[in-house]
Chains A and B, each alone.
Chain A
């Protein structure tokens, strides 16, 4: 029962995070949204562990090991994204992901 509740919570967190990834324009908010998304996925790993309980254990230890690795990766990714964002802000004074002019505009100068 509790596994189902946690599983649904994980799914909701992942969905909220994904929504943020799509709609938020600010890179920092995107990074935060990724972390919410990731947290939801890690919770799903926990549920998988709980459901795999056997041989007298209250949970399957393998997904726990996987999720710790996943967290390390997510932490490193967040650190790297923030570092890039800071350098971008220092270099340009703004922090957006919107690219340069579109290629259709550039093409209008074609001869």
Chain B
């Protein structure tokens, strides 16, 4: 039973989307919504089945053993990512019903038809990414993911979103061609692309090192790790809210997952210490630059898109912490678990946040952060959902982000890399800063009650709240069943010490928000005394923020970004070779 679930998890969304495509019209939404609980049940089934077997669940397509055949494999990592995907998908499905209805008197409308079908296509592609047992299957899955994600950006057909979609597609293609070159070189060097067989064959030959560097940079371009992020802000901020939620929460995790597979499963012994430090340095730069950019945004959706970029950077901090310097390879342990937990909690929290932003946009008719005052009084549940997803993102105990941070910090102190402790804590403070800035504006009182444009069905708010709560309660899940950590590593997230230690980054974040936040902070959040001195400090702090914005603008130009791809590929190659 277990192994056949792996095939079903890919086949069911595809059957659903083909059926919806053929039937069309008003039935599309019903077919897709009916497929979603089945997909969720299958994902949970896989998660249960992986616990019952020793080693991964394996399904051989057509009964052919690798290297001749292709295998699907599910380990604990695949299982938890599949369940996360399924939960986020179901919440988005419930939320999106009101956004994508076919108008009365029309048999079929373009945007709903495309949205529902692409949603299932993304799901099928992601499950293939999580289960694919060889590098070429992963390439095909990655391409399916991109092709399903790009049209979501331009569902409304406006010129700016079409431009954003085209930029996304072209940059993603660059990434996938680089990945493809890597697979060709790896196949040439070892004669197989199966992950298990390949992991026994790869060694530090020049061809393998070039392949690894090219594949890594290709995957980073698709994940939008700073400085390869030119496509993400416009694409994620321009899409309709449910589409932004899918793109930000799930689609970027697909290529991140393949990078994790590549380094932890295919070639754990290949990277030297300099390579893992370089990768995390890019992550730290992403956290710093993109958090400051988030603080300086005028529009809510752009702020959330930049927050996604900063959180993607956070994911890459796990690489040096998971590096076992004694055995010179990457090991699945606490740091690895922390990184994956961070990916899961970001997926749930960010989807909730984008959907809450969608509710605000629907209620107010705009999403300017400075004009959010009064939305809390008019729509308290929406504000609550926004606040909870923000707290989950910051990593307040017992959220998943908190558990992730705790594991990463422990790994940093175990491996005596104090600089990553600093980066992790600073990242937490920066996350708090833009979340607090946003909440300060949204919770502020308006001079006159906000005029609401539309009524919101309660199911939409419930879907957002549920997803934010899932993210906030992820710390309670016994992760040691799926990851190689001790059950004590994450025990009791609600002691006085953990709660008080979680307070410091939030206080620091408040300070950063006052110094760097765009526009005037609502006066209720500022003490009356010392306004003048705060003003002076603000002027001083805004200067480096201005430089960061200029650098970001320069990096988001097409030629700079492609040259950055090449420079990074070269640096990765040198770093891997130097580590040998």
Question: What residues of A have a CB within 8 angstroms of the CB of B191 in the complex?
Answer: 52, 60
Q: Is B549 within 8 A of A104, CB to CB? A: yes
- Give the distance in Å from the alpha carbon of A110 to the alpha carbon of B519 in the complex: 6
Question: What residues of B have a CB within 8 angstroms of the CB of A9 in the complex?
Answer: none
Q: Is B184 within 8 A of A77, CB to CB? A: no
Q: Smallest Cβ distance from B531 to chain A, in angstroms? A: 15
- Give the distance in Å from the alpha carbon of A102 to the alpha carbon of B181 in the complex: 34
Decide if B457 is an interface residue (CB 8 Å cutoff). Answer: no
- Give the distance in Å from the alpha carbon of A73 to the alpha carbon of B298 in the complex: 38
Which residue on A lies nearest to B192, using beta carbons? A62
Decide if B177 is an interface residue (CB 8 Å cutoff). Answer: yes
Q: Is A23 within 8 A of B559, CB to CB? A: yes
Question: What residues of B have a CB within 8 angstroms of the CB of A92 in the complex?
Answer: 159, 162-163
Q: Smallest Cβ distance from B427 to chain A, in angstroms? A: 22
Stretch from B330-338, B483-491, B550-558 that touches the partner:
B550-558
Question: What residues of B have a CB within 8 angstroms of the CB of A102 in the complex?
Answer: 553
Q: Is B184 within 8 A of A44, CB to CB? A: yes
Q: Is A52 within 8 A of B188, CB to CB? A: yes
Residue with the highest number of chain B CB atoms closer than 10 Å, among A34, A87, A97, A110: A97
How many A-B residue pairs lie within 8 Å, measured between CB atoms?
A: 117
List A residues 18-48 near B (Cβ within 8 Å).
18, 21-23, 27, 30-31, 34, 37-38, 41, 44-45, 47-48
Interface size class of B (residues with CB under 8 A): 35 or more
Q: Is B180 within 8 A of A77, CB to CB? A: no
The residue that A66 contacts in the complex, of B136, B519, B552, with Cβ under 8 A, is B136
List A residues 61-78 near B (Cβ within 8 Å).
62-63, 66, 69-70, 73, 76-77
Q: Smallest Cβ distance from A95 to chain B, in angstroms? A: 9
Decide if B562 is an interface residue (CB 8 Å cutoff). Answer: yes
List B residues 146-186 near A (Cβ within 8 Å).
147, 150-151, 154, 157-160, 162-163, 165-167, 169-170, 173-174, 176-177, 180-181, 183-185
Count contacts on A: residues with CB < 8 A to the other chain.
46
Decide if B406 is an interface residue (CB 8 Å cutoff). Answer: no
Q: Is B159 within 8 A of A22, CB to CB? A: no
- Give the distance in Å from the alpha carbon of A77 to the alpha carbon of B296 in the complex: 35
Which residue on A lies nearest to B554, using beta carbons? A102
Q: Is B187 within 8 A of A66, CB to CB? A: yes
List A residues 82-105 near B (Cβ within 8 Å).
84-85, 87-88, 91-92, 96-97, 99-100, 102-104
Q: Is B170 within 8 A of A87, CB to CB? A: no
Question: What residues of A have a CB within 8 angstroms of the CB of B151 in the complex?
Answer: 80
Q: Smallest Cβ distance from A39 to chain B, in angstroms? A: 11
* CB within 8 Å for A91 and B552 given contacts A76-B147, A77-B169: no
- Give the distance in Å from the alpha carbon of A96 to the alpha carbon of B143 in the complex: 24
Question: What residues of B have a CB within 8 angstroms of the CB of A96 in the complex?
Answer: 163
The residue that B188 contacts in the complex, of A22, A48, A69, A99, with Cβ under 8 A, is A48
Question: What residues of A have a CB within 8 angstroms of the CB of B173 in the complex?
Answer: 34, 77, 81
Residue with the highest number of chain A CB atoms closer than 10 Å, among B136, B158, B170: B170
The residue that A69 contacts in the complex, of B136, B519, B549, B558, with Cβ under 8 A, is B136
30 contacting pairs across A/B (C-beta < 8 A): A14-B181, A18-B566, A27-B166, A30-B170, A34-B170, A38-B177, A41-B180, A44-B185, A62-B187, A66-B184, A66-B187, A73-B143, A73-B176, A80-B150, A81-B166, A81-B169, A84-B150, A84-B154, A88-B163, A91-B159, A92-B159, A97-B166, A97-B170, A99-B163, A99-B167, A103-B297, A104-B546, A104-B553, A107-B296, A111-B519
> Measuring CB to CB, which residues of chain A are less than 8 angstroms from any residue of chain B?
14, 18, 21-23, 27, 30-31, 34, 37-38, 41, 44-45, 47-48, 51-52, 60, 62-63, 66, 69-70, 73, 76-77, 80-81, 84-85, 87-88, 91-92, 96-97, 99-100, 102-104, 106-107, 110-111
Given A81-B170, A92-B162, 14 additional A-B pairs, CB 8 A? A22-B562, A27-B166, A38-B177, A44-B181, A51-B188, A63-B184, A73-B176, A77-B173, A80-B169, A92-B163, A102-B553, A104-B549, A106-B298, A107-B518
